[in-house]
Amino acid sequence: MNDEIHVYCMPGMAANSKIFEHIRLPKPYVIHLLDWINPKQNESLQSYASRFCEKITYNNPVLIGVSFGGIIVQEMSRIISCEKVVIISSVKSYKEFPIHILLGRKSKAYKYFPTQWVDKTEDFIGFVFGPALRKRMKLHKYYLSVRDKNYLDWALHHFFQWDREEADPEVIHIHGSLDALIPVFNLKNYISVPGGTHALILIKAPWLNQHLPDLISK
């Protein structure tokens, strides 16, 4: 139908599209779920985003990205025309990263992390969803199923080394007030969700279901 609005959802690093299973949008919105693909050897972020654009089968879509997925959809929006871009628990430029990520960016210490995380699920889950949620291991193993080492090495590098300097003022940025991985201190022009953590997409789905339609339609 011509009046349908197609919404493509990109999960966070190592997460699968099941993180969106509690998101419900009314008509005319139609949700399409994206899942990570393996990067090519030494593939640039722009090339990777371009390959994802090939999965967009409707014109002028709404793109929603969580965490590193938020970075991906912003890169996609440079390639294809989008009705709206919504990022959740993410950043609009590297300048919004907190100090611990900026330090990791400079030192490149993240290069030593992936192999350890692949073997130590608890540490990996603590990074992606926050240390407070390590206790809910079984639940988060369900969502964090993308464990390929080459993918993780590639994703961590491009997360820490994202080179976007200036934020796009048109991007809708939703962020939890209690996000420990990306605290709100350096963020600008975002919508705060009280009590939301880096797992906002999971624990605040009712808030998103209530507010996303109005935010997208503005």
The residue that leads in pLDDT, 144 or 46, is 46
Banded pLDDT at 108 (limits 50, 70, 90): confident
Task: Write down the pLDDT at residue 24.
Answer: 97
Strands 84-88, 191-193: pairing kind: unpaired
CATH number where 202 lies: 3.40.50.1820
Task: Write down the pLDDT at residue 1.
Answer: 47
Q: For the chain, give the secondary structure using H, E and C.
A: CCCCEEEEEECCCCCCHHHHCCCCCCCCEEEEECCCCCCCCCCCHHHHHHHHHCCCCCCCCEEEEECHHHHHHHHHCCCCCCCEEEEECCCCCHHHCCHHHHHHHHHCHHHHCHHHHHHCHHHHHHHHHCHHHCCCHHHHHHHCCCCCHHHHHHHHHHHHCCCCCCCCCCCEEEEECCCCCCCHHHCCCCEEECCCCCCHHHHCHHHHHHHHHHHHHC
Domain span holding position 100: 5-217
Banded pLDDT at 126 (limits 50, 70, 90): low
Task: Order the strands of the 191-193 sheet from edge to edge.
Answer: 29-33, 5-10, 62-66, 84-88, 172-176, 191-193
pLDDT (average), residues 41-66: 97
The residue that leads in pLDDT, 64 or 126, is 64
- Distance CA(94)–CA(167), nearest Å, equals 9
Residue 49 has pLDDT above 80, yes or no: yes
What pLDDT, in 10s, does the model give residues 4-18? 999 999 999 989 999
Percent of the chain residues topping a pLDDT of 90: 73
Residue 205 has pLDDT above 50, yes or no: yes
What pLDDT, in 10s, does the model give residues 60-94? 999 999 999 999 999 999 999 999 999 999 999 99
- Distance CA(166)–CA(5), nearest Å, equals 28
Here the tokens at position 123 are 């540490």
Banded pLDDT at 218 (limits 50, 70, 90): confident
What pLDDT, in 10s, does the model give residues 148-197? 888 988 999 999 999 999 999 999 999 999 999 999 999 999 999 999 99
Task: Write down the pLDDT at residue 141.
Answer: 73
Mean pLDDT of the chain: 89
Count of domains observed in the chain: 1
Task: Write down the pLDDT at residue 66.
Answer: 98
Helix (H, G, I), strand (E, B) or coil at 59: coil
